[in-house]
Chain A
Amino acid sequence: MRKRESTEHVVEVATPEFEKTAQKKEARRGLLMALPSYLYLILFFVIPLGIVLIYSFATRNRFGGTDLSGWNLESYERIAEPIVRTILFRSLWLAILTTVICLVIAYPFAYYLSTRKPAIRNVMLVFVMIPFWTNFLVRNYAWRVILGNDGPFTKVTEFFGLGTHELLFSQKAVVLGLVYGYLPFMILPLYAAIERIDGQLLEASRDLYGNGWQSFKNVLLPLSMPGVIAGSILVFVPSLGAYVTPEILGGAKTTLLGSYIVTQFLTARNWPFGAALSFVLMAVMLLMTIIYFRKGGRTL
């Protein structure tokens, strides 16, 4: 029982009815808070998505347009083709690899960042973002130059006696490019989550466990888990659908899911199939997100 002074200076006593109305008020507030975004997304996302969903059941007509009459599941049946499976697994593997590498690099960085003084922290953070205000495509092309034959990278490895390493147009180059492109997406949420942890907790846990690794595993990691999950999703998802980096740095020699979908819309002009592929991709990603969340102990 709490005595509470409201603006009307009436003292209210907590009764079950009072609690219930308070809860209802809270729920309404929550709904009101969510409402603008909710409506926005329904109008400008769900409805357009509905249009594409309908297209996925349509057929491609002779000149690449879409025939809405004659609904069918042909586009979805094509998903069972072996080539689609190859592409899907290849893309999944690449995305997982990228996410893990990003996590390993970003975590120590975010941690270190959060232990700096506030003034320095902000500067460091901005300096993380600055490279990403150049154009995404151009950054990829810059890497193409760096990793190319006779480029700075191979010159450096030669200088250190490590031999010539022409990474361009290899799988490694693609991973490098993807990690480069999505590392900030891992750093930002990680930083946001780690930053709010009380340093005293960590100090105490270090004393308790006696070594840093245990302290990390049992205290820091669980506390920062929301950041880990958020960052992983923000990296995994775009990596799965990436097509620019694999084309520029990988030489487009193997097809990934992103390129495959783009090809359907922008080259083959087979919109129904492109739509079907998109929905399958989104379903897979949503499923994985839900599983990931449940494991991490969050709601969804």
Chain B
Amino acid sequence: MRKTRKLQVLGAIFAISLLAVTACGSDDDDSAGSACEVGQIDGDLAMYNWAEYIDEEQLAAFAEEYGISFTLDTYESNEAMQPIISAGNSGYDVIVPSDYMVSILIEAGHIMKLNLDAIPNSSNISEDFSGLYYDPKAEYSVPYQWGTTGIGVNTAVVGDDFPRSWGLIFDPAISGAFDGQIQLLNDPRETLGAALKYLGYSLNTTSESELNEAKDLLAATSSRLAAFNTDSADEFLTSGETVIGHGYSGDMFVQFLDQDNYEDYVYFVPEEGGTKWIDNMAIPFDAPSPCTAHTFINWMLTAEQGAALTDWNYYDTPNQAALDLMGEDPDGYYDDLLDFIRNPELFAGGVDSLESIEDTGDFETNYSDAFVNAKG
């Protein structure tokens, strides 16, 4: 008994002392990147990105040009990536957080200030992407790709004559005939956001009453759905599981264009407005090779690399130089890609109706709780 008791006590002391060490806090070296020069390399590149968001070949090209090796690990959501970065010692040099996550990471001090002298190509970023709410002076992040969340429809079943509105999902009068064939994203902010937009509110509201209205609407809609699903929205449409789906622009495009009957499918952002999201490149506070990271970011901001990226994942780019290159399209290589992904008909309410998701701080748990309550 004594032996095991001793061990237990030892264990407890150990645990408590660990916490004392935690309380001492970690050292955020905000200026680690400040010594980097353009094109400087200080180690291999370790990238942490969403899956299928960058071609490995593109990374290989970078690695070859600078004589280093690279690793690419993937995560499936911002919230899964953030604790790993925040815990420290993650080993990654470049991460790709979304807009609201950038503001969270800046506040927490877990991404480093960029040395903009080492990223001269940031001048390639379009004017539309300056003064972003989450990083107004663009000190911590560089836009990577952007896209929208909207509705995908199988017009062969639903017809072409429906209102370009969120009511297509939420209003039984419009889509009652398709009950059991509708899908919503399994994401509190996106889905409650859609309901909020339909009700005429901001999708970043911190009003309990507005959120409750959205929650009730969602609860009423829940029984009319086939599923809440985030990763297969586009596939459900093309496999016939659903005829009305809620999903991301790039994913929808890739899936639709792969079908023989691609003209049957339509993607649009409803007139009440929808989510516009921007993913960004950032450098964790304890990145092992910050200079390599700076060089990589700079390299990605060239016209060729920006265009290659868009051409691979079909999302829209904030890189003006890349847009120009694809617009001119000297070899006919990009094949009207821009026309397709920038079709004005995509935004039924106009580009201004789009809203970015912002972190609502303490109110954030209200969204996820409302979502759970709506499902019942």
Contact = CB atoms under 8 A, between A and B. Distances in A.
Contact of A42 (B7, B19, B188, B240): B7
A41 B135 CA distance: 44
Contacts of B14: 47
Contacts of A43: 11
Contact of A46 (B11, B108, B376): B11
A149 interface: yes
Contacts of B258: none
Given A47-B18, A252-B228, A83 B373 contact: yes
Interface stretch (B55-63, B343-351, B357-365): B357-365
Interface stretch (A56-64, A157-165, A182-190, A213-221): A56-64
A83 B15 contact: no
A169 B18 CA distance: 45
Contacts, number: 105
Contacts of A39: 7
A47 B15 contact: yes
A267 B241 contact: no
Interface stretch (A108-116, A125-133, A253-261, A291-299): A253-261
A251 B228 contact: yes
A292 B372 CA distance: 32
Contacts of B369: 268
Given A148-B241, A266-B79, A266-B80, A50 B15 contact: yes
Contacts of A169: 226-227
A70 to B, nearest CB: 13
A11 interface: no
Contacts of B18: 47, 51
A273 B366 CA distance: 13
A63 B4 contact: no
Contact of A267 (B103, B362, B368): B368
A263 B369 CA distance: 10
A247 interface: yes
B11 A47 contact: yes
17 contacts: A38-B7, A47-B18, A50-B15, A63-B107, A64-B364, A68-B19, A68-B23, A148-B239, A149-B239, A247-B229, A253-B225, A255-B375, A263-B372, A264-B368, A265-B83, A267-B77, A270-B365
